[in-house]
Amino acid sequence: MAGLQYLTGFGNEFASEDLRCPGALPDGQNNPQVCPYGLYAEQLSGSAFTCPRPANKRSWLYRILPSVCHKPFTAMHHDNLTDNWDEVEPDPNQLRWLPFIIPKASEKKVDFVMGLHTVCGAGDAKARNGIAIHIYTCNTSMIDRCFQNSDGDLLIVPQQGGILVTTEFGKMMVEPNEICVIQQGMRFSVDVYGETRGYILEVYGAHFELPDLGPIGANGLANPRDFLVPVAWYDNHPVSSGYTIINKYQGKLFSAQQDFSPFNVVAWHGNYTPYKYNLENFMVINSVAFDHADPSIFTVLTAKSTRPGVAIADFVIFPPRWGVADHTFRPPYYHRNCMSEFMGLIRGHYEAKEEGFQPGGGSLHSMMTPHGPDADCFEKNSSAILKPERVAEGTMAFMFESSFSMAVTRWGLDTCQRLDKSYYKCWEQLKSHFNPNWRPSSK
């Protein structure tokens, strides 16, 4: 949406007032006896009060009415949202999904919340340690209802259709090839403009951070100034038919009614906010001599575990770039990984999977399950004349990589292609390379 304004920076101490109410932010204190315009002060904590300063997250919201003015929460049914990781038996096989089907509005109107489907995950929202991966497919805007995730942060990756995300902090337009992060507890509503699809990485118990850069230095990868934060915007229209707050709490949905919009924040300040980022701003660093840098070089955001260097989940992208490595097999190599890898494709063709991996689909390579380029990719790139070339032009693939051993859900298993039936054929050709007469002298 043209005309939306944003603040810039990652995790800054921001301050914003709706232009209709200048001076709405209290001067010099957070919680005056009487706030300007008779607003109510409300703190939203994103970390324990006693967290060290670099990890301490909170914002102060100045609202027309406080959030507490709602009727009790009651349980709400949802067909495909779950945190039950024991729905199906463990299966280490590679899984691949065709583009997730978007319902037709003419057949059934589905909004962002009702269009959520949990694919896989691990861990425990109650213990505040874990991950869930969801798909959203929808065709209708959320009307007089909003969502809040009490369980963790949501990193949203639109794949088809832009989403207008209205939050307590203001509005963000997020198009495909951009991402947004709605942190734990922040209320938001999603408007869509047609058939809409995307991916969500949810983490329990940690917030996303920019990765440390080590010897790269002070600049590079996702630069902090490219992150955009909404500006304060309030809605004070009466909602005579009732406004529904949907709360995901311990993996289950609950709803509560109130008679006003939750987007009634006139001014706010703090360092705990939603934000968005355009993936085209990612500064790619890669090998300029030979061999591969590890894919961690493509990390946009990381949600750290308590173990040094080990993430609950990393958000990693494979953007267009130059490939210049000499005497090197340039596509991703064959590997087995101590992490779980869920991949999605926003647009284009992923270099290591020439067939069968389409925008809007996905794949799951579980912990230590072998994977790598298909036979066509191997053949082509083993004999390619190496010269500087553009790689992944017009493509944006991404990976949610997790140190958790993720389990697929019933819905995930019902909708995937079982690779033992169809997919392994793309490696059949490699098997023909087996030479029973191979000897060391064959070099």
Annotated binding site for homogentisate: 350, 371
Residues 292, 327, 349, 365: which is the catalytic one?
292
351 contacts Fe ion (rule: CB under 5 A): no
Minimum CB–partner distance for residue 131 and Fe ion (Å): 17
Q: Which stretch binds Fe ion (CB under 5 A): 164-172, 214-222, 250-258, 340-348?
A: 340-348
Q: Judged by CB under 5 A, which stretch of 79-87, 274-282, 337-345, 412-420 contacts Fe ion?
A: 337-345
Stretch that binds Fe ion, among 32-40, 248-256, 334-342, 377-385 (CB under 5 A): 334-342
| Minimum CB distance to Fe ion, residue 337 (Å) | 5
The answer to whether 360 touches 328, Cβ cutoff 8 Å, is no
Q: By C-beta, is 186 or 419 nearer to Fe ion?
A: 419
Our CB check for Fe ion shows the closer of 187 and 353 to be 353
Q: Shortest approach of Fe ion to residue 185 CB, angstroms? A: 33
For Fe ion, the nearest residue by Cβ is: 341
Q: Minimum distance between the CB of residue 75 and Fe ion, rounded to whole angstroms?
A: 39
User: Smallest distance from the beta carbon of 321 to Fe ion, in angstroms?
Assistant: 18
Closer to Fe ion by CB, 168 or 341: give it. Answer: 341
User: In angstroms, rounded to a whole number, what is the distance separating the alpha carbons of residues 272 and 8?
Assistant: 14
Active site residue 292: yes
341 lies in the binding site for Fe ion (CB under 5 A)? yes
Contact flag: residue 374 with Fe ion (CB under 5 A): no
Considering only the stretches 97-105, 323-331, 335-343, 380-388, report the one whose residues sit in contact with Fe ion under the rule CB under 5 A.
Answer: 335-343
Q: Which range, of 152-160, 183-191, 283-291, 338-346, touches Fe ion by CB under 5 A?
A: 338-346
Q: How far is the CB of 215 from Fe ion (least distance, A)?
A: 24
In a 10 Å sphere around its CB, with 0-12 CB exposed, 13-18 middle and 19+ buried, how is residue 375 labelled?
middle
3-state secondary structure the chain: CCCCCEEECCCCCEEEECCCCCCCCCCCCCCCCCCHHHCEEEEEECCCCCCCHHHCCEEEEEECCCCCCCCCCEEECCCCCCCCCCCCCCCCCCEEECCCCCCCCCCCCCCCCCCEEEEEEEEECCCCEEEEEEEEEECCCCCCEEEEECCCEEEEEEEECCEEEEECCEEEEECCCEEEEECCCCCEEEEECCCEEEEEEEEECCCCECCCCHHHCCCCECCHHHEEEECCCCCCCEEEEEEEEEEEECCEEEEEEEEECCCCEEEEEECCCCEEEEHHHCECCCCCCECCCCHHHHEEEEEECCCCCCEEEEEEEECCEEECCECCCCCCCCECCCCEEEEEEEECCCCCCCCCCCCCCEEEECCCCCECCCHHHHHHHHCCCCCCEEECCCCEEEEEEECCCCEECHHHHHHCEECCCCHHHHHHHHHCCCCCCCCHHHC
Per-residue mark of binding to Fe ion, 219-248 (x: CB under 5 A) = ------------------------------
Residues that contact Fe ion, how many (by CB under 5 A) = 1
Site string for Fe ion, 146-185 (x = CB under 5 A): ----------------------------------------
Q: Count of alpha carbons within 13 Å of 58, Cβ hemisphere only? A: 15
When the beta carbons of 48 and 310 are compared against Fe ion, the nearer one is: 310
Decide whether 63 or 365 has the Cβ nearer to Fe ion.
365
Query: Sign (positive/negative) of CA torsion 304, 153, 220, 319?
Result: positive
User: x/- binding map, residues 83-112, to Fe ion, per CB under 5 A?
Assistant: ------------------------------
Least CB distance from residue 11 to Fe ion, whole Å? 29
| Closer by beta carbon to Fe ion, 47 or else 369 | 369
Residue among 278 and 369 whose Cβ is closer to Fe ion: 369
Active site residues per annotation: 292
Judged by the rule CB under 5 A, the positions of this chain that interact with Fe ion are 341
